[in-house]
Structure 1
Amino acid sequence: MDEKKMDLSIEEYNPFEHRNVKKPNSDIRSLANLLKSSLGSGILAIPLAFANAGWGVGIVGTIIIAFICGHCVHIFVVASRECCKAVHKPLLGYAETCKTAFQIGPKPTRRLASAAESFAEFSLLFTYIGVCCIFTVLIAESVKQLFDSYIPDVIWPVEYYCLVFLVPLCVMGQIRYLKWLAPFSLIANILLITTFLICLYYIFKDDITISDKLVVGHAERFPAFLSTVIFAMEGIGVVMPVENTMKTPEHFLGCPSVLVVAMTFIMVMYGVLGLFGYFRYGDTLKGSITLNLPLNDWPAICAKGFIAVSIIFTYPLHFYVVIDILMKYMEPLVQKKYQNILQIVVRIAVVCFCGGIGVALPFLEQIINIVGALFYSILGLIIPGIVDTVLRWENLGRYKWILWKNILLVVFGIICLISGCTVTILDIIQIMKQKTE
């Protein structure tokens, strides 16, 4: 097919008209899933991010990062749709979009198409395994606080609670369709918003002192701020499954749209909780602000319980990405009559694997930072910038502004990756030293 024919073909083919989704989601359900992908444990870690950056830098940084993350999601979804038109496919996943962009891009990139797909799938897999590990530790720490306070005769380490919660997580992990996950996402969002309001109640309960709070934090802690906010904001691995299963995917982009509403809501919630959470608790903040709440008031007790239930209900949404990748490679190796058993066994095995990592490294703040710095920088910043550049290589705009803009995105992602990982690894080494002393 010559270039002229391909251009005509791209114009004629509408992927939305050819989508045959088994269980499509409405705009509201899609918004609920998209919000839940970004409004998990990350929002509760935002006050700690502000403590690392200072409240002035925190506000400005949160707005800028929200814009960058939203822009990266936008350009990746647009790229995916253009790839669908080019190859006449109704929908493409995250890794498939990367592969197709390289296949139809400049000639030197075409031989890298398979490598691009493998790299994207590797990044997705390990990102969401990391997220599942974070969820396991957060649930365990929240419940441990309550049990330690009200059942002082039985003091278990957090690792034991990680093991106990493998049972309900294994059950939730058996949910296979996003449509079935939407009600759980909605309930989880309600519980999370309720927890958010309870946190605000304790934040504003007494007078707030800001004179002793830093406007600009210590420079060496700024990478930890970036890692936490990127982790909290990014939900790009869930974006393509959400967009691909929408009843009206045209409503995902634009203004107003599902993406714009979601990112605006997320930015406002993060800014408010981060700013005032830091004002209230200062440098005593923990990996989740709920861990700073008192243990003798029923609203605080409810908040700790709500966040645990919310994360349990959120778990299968992120778990969906992991299983989707694994099944792509495993199902062809197993006879059709055994594939249901394969699904059950693999889902249980992955939950147990994530629980095992949580047991081995039960450091909530550090796991959040390492996943944000290493994997979400790759998924949410570096890959979208590269894919958009490759796809638009023949038309990069006046003065090649698209190229320069995407170079800045990729460089920013690399800086976040290297600096965030370095600071987090040093933090883990310091914690391990203190434990052995």
Structure 2
Amino acid sequence: MPVPTLIRRVLNRSNTLADSNDTPNGPVSPMPMPSATFNAADQDAGIATTAQFTSNFPDSSPIYEAPTTNADGDFTDSSSIDGSDIKMPMVEDGEKDVIEDITRLESQGGEQEPVVVRQGQPARNAGFLRSFSNVVCIIIGTGCLQIPYAFAKTGWIGVIIVVLSAFIGGYTGVLTIKCLYYQQGHRLHSFPQIGRAAFGRWGQYATQFFNYLYSLGTTCLYIILSGQFIYQLLSTVGVDLSKKVWMIIVALIIWIPVAILKQMSEAAVMAIFGLLASVVVIVVATVMSIAQPYTKMYPNEPPPGEDVAIAIGIPVALSSIVFSYSGSVVYPHVEASMRKPKQWPNVVYTAMTFCMVCYLLIGVSGYWAYGDLVVSPVLDSIPTGAPATIAKVMITLHVIIAAPIMLLTFFLEVEEGWQINAERLGKKREFIVRLVYRSVVVALVCAVSLAIPYFADFLSLISSIACVTMFAILPIVCYLKLYGHKIAPWYEKIWMAIVLVIGIIASIWGSVDAIKSLIRDVQEGGS
């Protein structure tokens, strides 16, 4: 479209808006219908008069309604003004954003992007900070405390692995959301639906297995670790309660937000607090490692060893570092709550970069201070005292906060599949059903955590399989299946192959390491 023509239409629509209601948020008068007669310049630009604003979204589509293109390539929209259909000329790709911005400013008074949500779907009201906090709160957890120990296994080459894993996490996070939108005019809502779209029913079952195993299994691990941390902190001050009692108390604490929160966007405050708790832990561990290295704590002992690269330890450390970046099961639900879903690549890459910086800080400082004598978690390597106690309290709070967010990913998918919503059941009945089944799931997760004495090692085995698969393997495989291998240039295919190899190695070696730990604990009789 010629630029003068576009400017003329903008001015015409602006004049119409000025003649409408004088209130800032008042209704906008319909734009005058375009004339059936066009000049030669318009005809040369290929402008048509029959491009009607329609909706491509089927009634069963769970996606918010947004502009799409129809089969003929015309730009279409489901919006209308005053209930009437308005015919607009077809525009070129480079001009669509301009028209969208004008329409948005007219309809919303320039305040924010309009959000239209289908019944039963979460409101798209989460901004960048909320979405960023949700992703980081899930990614950064107890995994950050294992990074120095991973460096002890790999040597300084672990720095490269940390950086590489961050790029992999950002890349596969973007591919995951692309898979949700593979079908024009329709959005899938979960990883299992991606698996079904790519590989049929068995693909759905396999994806559900990995997805639910990761969500519920990681929650079990959080309950176990929280109970252990609280027991260690309070047993020193005379509180005589066993680890299992504290695990039950932790499960009850987790149950409260699980029962109250309905959607991922409602967990924003929890996620932001969990993010701050993680930052405190990393800062404390980094500062204490630098201020109190091993040579200062034990001046009469020989200094610990450091290596540039330890080839035999790279595969095992790779699995633990990859696990520290995992949060793929949450991504579809975080993106579904975003006010501006086009910002998702920025959200996921910013989150990965933030995590990478945090991991490098705690990893480099911990390995520099304690070398091959560093233990996991690194908080057990730094001197005991107020800083170490504060760090343990904060990591415990973070784990307790992250568990409900992790469970929400499972609950939202179940509620979507079973249609547990107010539109079908009514508000009161929907609340009761949701409360009962969520409470039952929390109780079962707590029972499993209490019943299996070697569950931490067993869960490490499951996580190496499920978590790494969801992180590095399934997003690429499903993306290639849904879009076809021709969608990616040759250099991106090489990168995909590298990521797949890294994922497979991390999964296999992580499983082997977990099996060895499990066998060792069984032989020693457990703790």
Smaller-chain TM-score range? Answer: 0.7 to 0.9
Aligned counterpart, 1:128: 215
1:236 counterpart = 2:333: no
Greater relative CO (CA pairs within 8 A, separation 6+):
1
Provide the TM-score with structure 1 as the length reference. 0.84
1:383/1:213 CA distance change after superposition, 3 Å: same
Paired residues in the alignment total 412
CA distance in 2, matches of 1:305, 1:128: 24
Q: Which amino acid aligns with 1:31?
A: F
SS in 2 for 1:150: coil
- Shifted more, 68-77 versus 400-409: the winner is 400-409
The answer to whether the 8 A contact 2:284-2:388 is kept is yes
Aligned counterpart, 1:223: 315
Alpha-carbon shift at residue 92 of structure 1 (Å): 3.2
Alpha-carbon shift at residue 401 of structure 1 (Å): 4.8
The 5-angstrom pairing of residues 2-81 of structure 1 reads 8=71, 12=75, 19-20=116-117, 21-54=122-155, 56-81=156-181
CA distance in 2, matches of 1:46, 1:9: 52
Alpha-carbon shift at residue 97 of structure 1 (Å): 3.0
Q: Which amino acid aligns with 1:260?
A: Y
Larger Rg: 2
1:277 counterpart = 2:366: yes
- Shifted more, 273-282 versus 8-17: the winner is 8-17
Aligned counterpart, 2:100: none
Cα deviations by residue, 1:151-186 (Å, 9 ceiling, x for unpaired) = 17x363x33322232211111222222222001111
Q: Which amino acid aligns with 1:385?
A: I
Percent identity for Structure 1 against Structure 2: 19
CA distance in 2, matches of 1:369, 1:390: 30
The structure richer in helix per residue is 1
Alpha-carbon shift at residue 196 of structure 1 (Å): 1.4
SS in 2 for 1:395: helix
Q: Which amino acid aligns with 2:466?
A: F
CA distance in 1, matches of 2:217, 2:75: 41
Instruction: Determine which of 199, 202, 206 is the counterpart of 2:285.
Output: 199
The answer to whether the 8 A contact 2:220-2:448 is kept is yes
Alpha-carbon shift at residue 299 of structure 1 (Å): 2.3
SS in 2 for 1:229: helix
Aligned counterpart, 1:212: 305
Q: Which amino acid aligns with 1:316?
A: P
Provide the TM-score with structure 2 as the length reference. 0.70
CA distance in 1, matches of 2:421, 2:125: 29
Cα deviations by residue, 1:265-322 (Å, 9 ceiling, x for unpaired) = 1111111212222333445545433344444x22222221111112212211111111
CA distance in 1, matches of 2:191, 2:266: 21
Aligned counterpart, 1:307: 395
Aligned counterpart, 1:422: 512
The answer to whether the 8 A contact 1:47-1:278 is kept is yes
Aligned counterpart, 1:261: 350
Aligned counterpart, 2:249: 164
The answer to whether the 8 A contact 1:47-1:285 is kept is yes
The answer to whether the 8 A contact 2:288-2:382 is kept is yes
Q: Which amino acid aligns with 1:214?
A: D
Alpha-carbon shift at residue 374 of structure 1 (Å): 0.7
Alpha-carbon shift at residue 117 of structure 1 (Å): 2.3
Instruction: Determine which of 131, 137, 142 is the counterpart of 2:224.
Output: 137
Report the aligned-residue RMSD: 3.2
- Shifted more, 39-48 versus 236-245: the winner is 39-48
The answer to whether the 8 A contact 1:230-1:372 is kept is no
Q: Which amino acid aligns with 2:414?
A: L
Structure 1, unaligned stretches of length 5 or more? 1-5, 103-111
Aligned counterpart, 2:204: 117
CA distance in 1, matches of 2:470, 2:246: 31
1:421/1:322 CA distance change after superposition, 3 Å: same
The answer to whether the 8 A contact 2:134-2:271 is kept is yes
Structure 2, unaligned stretches of length 5 or more? 1-68, 79-112, 296-302
- Shifted more, 91-100 versus 380-389: the winner is 91-100
Instruction: Determine which of 259, 263, 284 is the counterpart of 1:177.
Output: 263
Instruction: Determine which of 411, 414, 434 is the counterpart of 1:343.
Output: 434
SS in 2 for 1:151: coil
The 5-angstrom pairing of residues 240-251 of structure 1 reads 240-251=332-343
Aligned counterpart, 1:94: 191
CA distance in 1, matches of 2:164, 2:137: 21
1:361/1:229 CA distance change after superposition, 3 Å: farther
